A = this chain, B = another copy of it.
């Protein structure tokens, strides 16, 4: 009985993690697209590819999926725009990213490692954890 319950609980945890993993790439993309639009006025596949370290056709295919999911809009041979849903997700991601980053630096990590770790961690922190990170980063 105990075993069953604990197996179920474990399964739920892993299902949650798998769910998060499925969303990671989309989050990376919309966050990056928002950054590019802000920095350069537009988000082009070639720049997305360079920033992510993948080839352009990989980006094309992923953008198709994001469009299918309603996070971006695009026209053939033109650059990419975020839908309002995509913008909202990008904002949320940026917020998480910044909190995690500030937290890690405040903890004493060098900024470069902090950036690396934040990129991996940000997709896996609950709101509750984020709140704790934030208050740690903000404490006097």
Contact = CB atoms under 8 A, between A and B. Distances in A.
Interface of A: 7-8, 10-18, 20-21, 24, 28, 47, 50-54, 104, 107-110, 113, 115-117, 119-121, 123-126, 128-129, 132-133, 136
Contacts of A115: 13
Main secondary structure of the interface of A (DSSP, over half): helix
Nearest to A10: B51
Nearest to A4: B50
Given A113-B126, A128-B110, A129-B113, A120 B11 contact: no
Nearest to A35: B10
Contacts of A8: 50
A10 B39 CA distance: 14
